[in-house]
């Protein structure tokens, strides 16, 4: 069975601090996708990144970076120089099923960035 | 990415009634899914909406409670039947434009059952 664990329930930082959100996953599939989504207070789910199981290259997009390590089954997300607008709930998710469309979500991490 | 809309955006319903939620996409998509997010919780997949055939439900969800239709490649409905306060949640549809493409989510329908 698939499982995603986001051990950090809530994180509070001051603006301009760097913050890392942890994600650990379990799956028996050899091919799968990992995702990060952001859910701001307005409620919509905003796609941030998708990574397939064969691509362990780290990725950077502006202030966001992701570290994928299959050896530790982790897919961590770092925000550099955080801003108040980064305050949201962040979800890590793992695909399952032959279509890779079914997602198992972690419990989410509430990030609050204080000015 | 596809543009996804949901109707209604929110509703307050009485116990025992049913509500149908619509999901409309601006382009044809391969896969459509329905998720539930209970208050303060994560998202849980309810079912895969199959075009022209019965939906595929995940464990813990049944067709009598959550009937789903998908008459074409751009539209789906989810009905929450015989509602109870425990059904108060955000219901989200999601789509994939291709079998290995990214999954995008609609804005959600916030349902409160009194």
Looking from the CA of A78 toward its CB, the CA atoms found within 13 Å total 12
Q: Do A47 and B92 touch (CB under 8 A)?
A: no
CA distances in angstroms from A39 to A74, A90, B26, B41, B101, listed in the order given: 21, 6, 22, 12, 20
pLDDT tens digit string along A18-41?
999 999 999 998 888 999 999 998
pLDDT tens digit string along B88-110?
999 999 998 876 678 899 999 99
Query: Which of B42, B48, B103 lies at the smallest CB-CB distance from A107?
Result: B42
| Closest alpha carbon to B36 in A45, A56, A49 | A45
Q: Do A47 and B105 touch (CB under 8 A)?
A: yes
CA distances in angstroms from A26 to A3, A76, B68, B88, listed in the order given: 5, 14, 30, 30
Residue B18 tokens read as 């049913």
Q: Torsion angle, CA of B94/B99/B102/B105, rounded to 10 degrees?
A: 0
Are the beta carbons of B69 and B77 closer than 8 angstroms?
yes
pLDDT tens digit string along B4-63?
999 999 999 999 999 999 999 999 888 899 999 999 999 999 999 988 889 999 999 999
Q: CA-nearest residue of chain B to A44?
A: B107
Q: How does DSSP classify residue A72?
A: G
Q: Do A105 and B107 touch (CB under 8 A)?
A: no
Looking from the CA of B42 toward its CB, the CA atoms found within 13 Å total 21
How many other CB atoms are found less than 10 A from the CB of residue A72?
A: 10
Strands A10-14 and A109-114: parallel
pLDDT tens digit string along A47-100?
999 888 888 888 888 999 999 999 999 999 999 999 999 999 999 999 877 667
* E strand or H helix at B37: strand B31-37
């Amino acid at each position: 069975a698939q499982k995603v664990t986001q051990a950090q329930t809530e994180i509070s930082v001051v603006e301009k601090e760097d913050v890392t959100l942890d994600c650990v996953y379990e799956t028996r599939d050899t091919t799968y996708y990992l995702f990060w989504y952001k859910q701001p207070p307005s409620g919509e789910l905003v796609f941030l990144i998708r990574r397939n199981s064969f691509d362990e290259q780290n990725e950077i997009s502006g202030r966001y970076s992701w570290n994928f390590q299959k050896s530790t089954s982790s897919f961590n997300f770092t925000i550099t120089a955080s801003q108040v607008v980064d305050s949201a709930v962040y979800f890590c998710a793992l695909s399952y099923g032959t279509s890779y469309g079914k997602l198992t979500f972690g419990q989410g991490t509430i990030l609050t960035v204080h000015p | 990415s596809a543009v996804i809309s949901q109707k209604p955006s929110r509703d307050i319903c009485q116990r025992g009634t049913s509500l149908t939620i619509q999901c409309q996409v601006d382009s044809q998509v391969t896969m459509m899914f329905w998720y539930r997010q209970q208050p303060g919780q994560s998202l849980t997949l309810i079912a895969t909406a199959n075009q022209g055939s019965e939906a595929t439900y995940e464990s813990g969800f049944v067709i009598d409670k959550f009937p789903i239709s998908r008459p074409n490649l751009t539209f789906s409905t989810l009905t929450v039947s015989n509602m109870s306060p425990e059904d108060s949640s955000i219901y989200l549809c999601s789509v994939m434009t291709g079998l290995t493409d990214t999954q995008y989510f609609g804005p959600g329908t916030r349902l409160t059952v009194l």
